């Protein structure tokens, strides 16, 4: 990728806008495949991308400012609204960060339930990714298959916590909802039914020559670039860095489970696709183990009703479906957090877009945006 440097620099702006050899294409904020309200200004030479600039913030809701005006418990539902396709993961990260600040730990049963739901959520999130990514590349049908199977996950969520998307499933100190009757069976049933479906997605895509051609060698990120750009999650792993917070710094009960971290070799779109598909399989594995080993006991640690952590600051991060989701919380011993900083994986990953698409074609930009798996709610917060 060394030849990329000879392309025009984006920073030489205004005079080149009138240059006839270049076409400035404004992709978004309303565009079928920018996954929300992302705006990418593309500088093109014919169809070749010379440079990009992302304009974000269309969905900015000031979550971090809201947090400063809410109590710890009150802020919990808001985090669901950041990465709204993986709300459970967001809630988990937040609850754990506050628990760390309070120096409590959720009871084992709560931890297991959390792991089950988070992994289900990972599957749901990856299914949304797969569907939309395939749709971007032109395969319109996998979207519906993915959403059909995601529905089963959402049903489990709804049965468990009463909401499908913005779940608000966990509370600081554990879970407030006991696993409903038939929870284990539902999870197992889902796992059993899901794996054949996953094979079906693969039949539609994995070996399909068009899919392979569209994704192989597209948007390559080598490990050094990944790390320098702070890219995490499946994107990092597809580049061959075997790093997953669930293994590197296990939280919750992840140490109890036996699972693999899939990694890729080339760091291209195809590898990222394979890594995510395999991650779904591993998530099923974790769910099965967790359901089998679900301990009895309380689900809520002793947490005061009014949460007032001691003065201090804490950074806690989890492996969300999209990468490292971190919460940096500063407490001033009042009931409201002094500052909450969310380290959103999508935001940081999106930064890699420019590096990935330089020299590719317009169609690849769409594929790369899809493969980064961004959720604008999280990018803009």
Partner 1 sequence: MPEETKGTDPVSPEPSSPAGAPVASGEGAGSGAKASAETSPSSAAPTVPAPSAPAAKAEAPSAAKPAGPVKPAAATTAAKPAEPAKPAAAPATGEKPAPAAAKPAAPAAKPAPKPEGPKPEPWEADLITRLRSQYGSGIKEASTYVGQKYLVVDSSIVYEILLHMRHDELFDYCVDITAVHYPKREAQFDIVYILYSFHHNQRVRVKTQIKDGEHLRTAVEIWETANWLEREVFDMFGIEFDGHPDLKRILLPDGWKGHPLRKDYPILQQDQEWVRINLGIESGQ
Partner 2 sequence: MSLTPLLRKIFLVDLVKGLKVTFHYQPPSEAITEQYPLERPVIFERFRGQPRLNSNPDTGESLCIVCNLCALACPEQLIVVKGERNPATKRKEVVSWTYDLSRCMFCGLCEEACSTDALELTQDYEMALYSREGMVLDQAALERGPEPEKYAK
Partner 3 sequence: MIEYIKGYLSSGTTPGEAGNLFWATVYILLVIAGVSVAVLCMNWLERKILAHMQIRLGPMRVGPHGLLQPFADALKLLIKEDIIPHDADKLVFWSAPVVVTMTAFTTFLVVPFGRTHAVTDMNIGVLFMLGVSSLGVLGIIMAGWSSNSHYPLMGSLRSSAQMVSYEIAMGLAIVSAVLMTSLQTGTGTLSMIGIVESQASQHTWFIFKFFPLGFLAFAVFAIAMVAETNRAPFDLPEAESELVAGFHTEYSGFRWSLFFLAEYSAMLAVSSIAVTLWLGGWMRPFPNLLGGPTWDMAFSFLPALTFFVLAAGCFLGTIRMPKIPQFRIQTIGLGTFGALLGFVGLVLLVPAVSVRIQDIYWFVVKVAFFMYLYIWYRGTFPRYRFDQLMKVGWKVLLPTGLGVLIATALWGLMPQLSAALTGVLQ
| C-beta of 79 vs 348, nearer to partner 2 | 79
Question: Rounded to an integer, what distance in angstroms lies between the CA atom of residue 110 and that of residue 290?
Answer: 11
Binding partner of residue 33 among partner 2, partner 1, partner 3, none, CB cut-off 5 to 8 Å per kind: partner 3
Q: Name the binder of 200 from partner 1, partner 3, partner 2, none, CB < 5-8 A by kind.
A: partner 2
# of chain residues touching partner 2 (CB under 8 A): 31
49 vs 299, beta carbon nearer partner 3? 49
Q: Shortest Cβ distance from residue 43 to partner 1 (Å)? A: 15
By CB under 8 A, tell whether 208 contacts partner 2: yes
- Least separation in angstroms between CB 268 and partner 3: 14
Q: Name which of partner 2, partner 3, partner 1, none residue 163 binds, using a CB cut-off of 5 to 8 Å depending on partner kind.
A: partner 2
SS3 318: strand
In whole angstroms, how close is the CB of 245 to partner 2 at the nearest point?
Answer: 27
Q: Which does 104 bind (CB under 5 to 8 A by kind): partner 3, partner 1, partner 2, none?
A: partner 1
Which are the contacts of 378, defined by CB distance < 8 A and separation ≥ 6? 82, 83, 322, 344, 345, 346, 347
Residue 188, classified by CB atoms within 10 Å of its CB into exposed (0-12), middle (13-18) or buried (19+), is middle
Closest separation in Å from C-beta 338 to partner 1: 7
Q: Phi/psi zone of residue 62: left (φ > 0), alpha (ψ -120 to 50 degrees), beta?
A: left
| DSSP letter for each residue of 173-242 | TEESSPPPTTHHHHHHHHHHHHHHHHHHHHHHHTT-HHHHHHHTTSS---HHHHHHTT--THHHHHTT--
Nearer to partner 3, 33 or 71 (CB): 33
Q: Which residue has the tokens 């009757």?
A: 181
- Write down the H helix ranges in the chain: 14-17, 63-68, 72-79, 87-102, 108-137, 142-161, 183-205, 209-215, 223-228, 234-238, 245-248, 269-292, 345-350, 353-357, 362-372, 376-380
Tell me: does residue 151 bind partner 2 (CB under 8 A): yes
Question: Closest separation between CB of residue 286 and partner 1, Å?
Answer: 14
Residue 35: CB minimum distance to partner 3, A: 11
What does 165 interact with, of partner 3, partner 1, partner 2, none (CB < 5 to 8 A by kind)?
none
Cα separation values, 107 from 8, 249, 349, 371, Å: 56, 19, 33, 36
By the 8 A CB rule, do 367 and 219 touch?
yes
CB of 371 to partner 2, least distance (A): 20
**Judged by CB under 8 A, does residue 300 bind partner 2?**
no
User: Site residues (CB under 8 A) for partner 3?
Assistant: 23, 25-26, 31-33, 47, 134-141, 143-145, 148, 204-205, 208, 210-211, 213-214, 361-366
Using CB under 8 A as the binding rule, whether residue 12 contacts partner 2 is answered as no
Contact 380, 57 (CB under 8 A): yes
Chain contacts with partner 2 (rule: CB under 8 A): 70, 73-78, 81, 141, 148, 151, 155, 158-163, 166, 168, 176-177, 180, 200, 203-205, 207-210
């Amino acid at each position: 990728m060394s030849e990329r440097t000879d392309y025009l620099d984006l920073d030489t702006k205004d005079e080149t806008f009138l240059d006839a050899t270049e076409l400035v294409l404004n992709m978004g904020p309303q565009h079928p495949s920018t996954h929300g309200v992302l705006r990418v200004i593309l500088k093109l030479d014919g169809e070749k991308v010379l440079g990009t600039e992302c304009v974000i913030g269309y969905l900015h809701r000031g979550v971090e400012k809201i947090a400063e005006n809410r109590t710890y418990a009150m802020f919990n539902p808001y985090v669901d609204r950041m990465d709204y396709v993986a709300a459970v993961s967001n809630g988990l990260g937040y609850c754990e960060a506050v628990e760390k600040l309070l120096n409590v730990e959720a009871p084992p049963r709560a931890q297991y339930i959390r792991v089950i739901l988070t992994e289900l959520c990972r599957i749901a999130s990856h299914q949304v990714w797969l569907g939309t990514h395939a749709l971007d590349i032109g395969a319109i049908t996998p979207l519906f298959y993915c959403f059909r199977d995601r529905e089963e996950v959402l049903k489990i969520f709804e049965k468990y916590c009463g909401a499908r998307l913005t779940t608000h499933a966990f509370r600081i100190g554990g879970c407030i909802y006991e696993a409903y009757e038939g929870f284990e069976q539902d999870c197992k049933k889902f796992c059993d039914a899901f794996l054949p479906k996953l094979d079906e997605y693969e039949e539609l895509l994995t070996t399909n020559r068009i899919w392979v051609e569209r994704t192989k060698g597209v948007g390559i990120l080598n490990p050094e670039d990944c790390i320098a750009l702070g890219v995490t999650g499946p994107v990092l792993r597809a580049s061959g860095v075997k790093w997953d917070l669930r293994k590197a710094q296990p939280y919750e009960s992840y140490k109890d489970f036996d699972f693999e971290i899939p990694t890729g070799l080339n760091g291209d779109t195809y590898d990222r696709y394979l890594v995510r598909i395999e991650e779904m399989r591993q998530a099923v594995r974790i769910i099965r183990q967790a359901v089998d080993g679900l301990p009895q006991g309380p689900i809520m640690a002793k947490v005061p009703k009014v949460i007032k952590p001691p003065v201090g600051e804490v950074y806690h991060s989890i492996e969300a479906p999209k990468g490292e989701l971190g919460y940096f919380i500063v407490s001033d011993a009042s009931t409201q957090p002094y500052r909450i900083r969310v380290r959103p994986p999508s935001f940081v990953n999106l930064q890699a877009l420019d590096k990935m698409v330089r020299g590719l074609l317009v169609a690849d930009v769409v594929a790369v945006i899809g493969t980064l798996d961004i959720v604008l709610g999280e990018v803009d917060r």
